[in-house]
Amino acid sequence: MSVLLETRGVSKSYGAFCALSNVSFSVNEGELISVVGPNGAGKTTLVNTLTGLLRPTAGDVLFMGRNIAGVGPVSLTDHGLVRSFQLIQIFPALTVAETIAAAVISRQSKRWRLFSSLAADPDIAARVREVADIFGLGHRLDTTAVALSQGEKKLLDVASAFALDPKVILLDEPTSGVSTADKHGIMSILITAGKKAGVQAMVLVEHDMDLVAAYSSRIIALSGGELIADLPPKEFFADPNLIATVIGQRRRH
C-alpha cells in the first residue's frame, strides 16, 4: 500500500498552550481512517493542519510525498486532497444542481463563469447529474438545499466535495444531526460513492463509536493533543481503558 497522507512529528502551539504534540501517522491507499478523541483532544487542530488551514509549529504534513503544511485548502484541492465543508449551511438558497455545479466549475478552473456555465456547458451539466445520481440526489436537482431533509443535506455536502475529484477526502462528522436509523445508510452511500469516484482513501472525524467500529480500517485516537492509539478496530475496542479515555468526557469540538 502506498502512503498518501502523512504527519511526521506534528506539533501545534498557541502561545503556552500545546494543541498537538509530536503526532505521527500515515493514511494509506484503500484505507478509511477514523480520528477519535475526547473534549479538547486536538481533533479540530489536526484536521485544520491536515487540510492546510494551519501551519504546524513543528513537524511536517506530507500529501503524496509533498510537504503541504500551511498551503491552504484551495491549493490542496488542486492536488487532490479535499475536506468536506458544510457549504449548504452557507448557501441554503442554492439548488442541489447549483451546489454541485459550484464544485465542478471550480475543479475545472472555470471559477469566474459560475452558474452561467451550468446551462451553457453540457459537460458540466452531465457531471452534476452523475455526482447527484451517485449520492441518490438525482431526483432533487432543482430542490433548494434548505428544503432537503437533514440526511439529504449531509449527502449534498459530501457530494460537493466528491465533485472536486479528490484522491483523499476528509469528512468531519458526516452523520451529525442525522437520525440513528439513517447513519449507516449514509455511511454506506459515502463508501460506495468513494469507490465509484476513484477516491483512494478517506479520513473520518467521528464521535459515533458504532460507525467507527463498523467502517474503519484503523483508528487514530488523540487525547490532550497526543496520539494515544493507532490501531485496527478489533484491537482498539478490546482495550477498555482506551475506550474510557476516548468517550469518557462530554463531546465537544
Q: What is the mean pLDDT of residues 231-252?
A: 82
Confidence of residue 12 (pLDDT cuts 50, 70, 90): very high
168-172, strands of its sheet edge to edge: 81-83, 168-172, 201-205, 32-36, 218-223, 226-231
Q: At residue 250, does pLDDT exceed 50?
A: no
Looking at 54-68, 112-126, 188-202, which range is the least confident one? 112-126
What is the rounded distance in angstroms from the CA atom of residue 118 to the CA atom of residue 32? 33
Confidence of residue 56 (pLDDT cuts 50, 70, 90): very high
- What does the block give as the cell for 219? 483508528
Angle at 131 between CA 46 and CA 84, to 5 degrees: 15
Indicate if the pLDDT at residue 154 is higher than 90.
no
Indicate the pTM of the whole model.
Answer: 0.87
Q: Which residue has the higher pLDDT, 65 or 84?
A: 65
pLDDT band at 251; cut points 50, 70, 90 = very low
Beta-carbon count within 10 A of 138 CB: 15
Q: How far is CA 212 from CA 34, 45, 107, 202, 203, in A?
A: 6, 20, 30, 13, 11
Rounded to the nearest angstrom, the gap between the alpha carbon of residue 129 and the centroid of all alpha carbons in its chain is 22
- 142, 146, 149, 151 alpha-carbon torsion, rounded to 10°: 100
Domains and CATH numbers, the chain: 1-72+203-253 (3.40.50.300)
Q: Indicate the pLDDT class of residue 95, thresholds 50, 70 and 90.
A: very high
Question: What pLDDT, in 10s, does the model give residues 166-212?
Answer: 999 999 888 888 888 889 988 998 899 888 888 999 999 988 999 99
Task: Give per-residue burial for 55-75: e unless 16+ CB within 10 Å, then b.
Answer: ebeebebbbbeeebbebeeee
Specify the amino acid at residue 188: S
